[in-house]
Structure 1
Amino acid sequence: MYAIVEIAGQQFKVSKDQKVYVHRLASEEGTKVSFDKVLLLDENGTVTLGAPAVEGASVEAKVLQHLKGDKVIVFKKKRRKGYKKKNGHRQSFTQILIEGIVAAGAKKKAAKKEVEVEVTETAEEVKPKAKATKKPKTEE
């Protein structure tokens, strides 16, 4: 079973017990997070596509740690002009562990409220108007 889920603006193909590095999340280490924007869900060959997301489906994960990626050097130069700029960047990541994928309808179902409706018109009062039909002439 796997799912394609959108986390922090990026799409990831995830399955149970998988570790994923995503852009930095605001939650603390050790907390559980849930992602509701599941775009595709595959359950043993049965594929469910969302439009744009699958209703009722979610991905449960646990935040393992926050860390920084490798340093990326940005160097700009224009030849024969004396222009040189050197800059560095380290992206912040969050490592999460996918604990489970909840399919649509498997989670708690919302209780439907029963609404009583008064019927003011009866079936006899609401009769469709009969259309005038032409009878074929019979020759004698």
Structure 2
Amino acid sequence: MYAIFNNGGKQYKVIEGQIIKLEKIKGNIGEEIKFNKILLIHNKNNFKIGQPLVTGASIKAKLISHKRDKKIKIIKFHRRKHFCKIQGHRQFITTIKIIKIQI
């Protein structure tokens, strides 16, 4: 059984027990959160596709940690103009564990 849900403008495919990284979510570590924007649920031979969302479906998850992701480099460069600018960015992320997918 898997589900596809929407969070922070991105879509994630998850199964029960999976640990994923999302953009930062407000909440305390160890707290349970609920996602209601479910786009699709697949259960053995049954597909439930939302138009746009599956009604009555939700995903329960547990907050594991808040941290920052690895650094990415942003490089701006103009050849033959003596211009080079390098900048770094580290995104805040939240790690969650999927507990249950409810239909």
Shift of 1:44: 1.5
For residue 70 of structure 1, give the secondary structure of its aligned residue in structure 2.
coil
CA distance in structure 1 between the aligned counterparts of 2:27 and 2:97, rounded to whole angstroms: 14
Residue 28 of structure 1 pairs with residue 28 of structure 2: yes
Alignment root-mean-square deviation, CA: 0.9
Shift of 1:28: 1.6
CA distance in structure 2 between the aligned counterparts of 1:71 and 1:101, rounded to whole angstroms: 32
Please, which runs of 5 or more residues in structure 1 have no aligned partner? 104-140
CA distance in structure 1 between the aligned counterparts of 2:32 and 2:89, rounded to whole angstroms: 29
Greater strand proportion: 2
| 1:67 maps to amino acid | K
What is the match of residue 6 of structure 1? 6
Please, which runs of 5 or more residues in structure 2 have no aligned partner? none
What is the match of residue 80 of structure 2? 80
Matches within 5 A, 1:96-135: 96-103=96-103
Q: What count of residue pairs does the alignment treat as equivalent? A: 103
| 1:87 maps to amino acid | Q
What is the match of residue 19 of structure 1? 19
For residue 56 of structure 1, give the secondary structure of its aligned residue in structure 2.
coil
Shift of 1:60: 0.4
Select the structure of larger CA radius of gyration: 1
CA distance in structure 1 between the aligned counterparts of 2:51 and 2:97, rounded to whole angstroms: 26
What is the match of residue 61 of structure 2? 61
Q: Normalized against structure 1, the TM-score is what?
A: 0.71
CA distance in structure 2 between the aligned counterparts of 1:9 and 1:102, rounded to whole angstroms: 22
Percent of residue pairs bearing the same amino acid type: 36
CA distance in structure 1 between the aligned counterparts of 2:35 and 2:21, rounded to whole angstroms: 15
Shift of 1:70: 1.0
Q: Normalized against structure 2, the TM-score is what?
A: 0.95
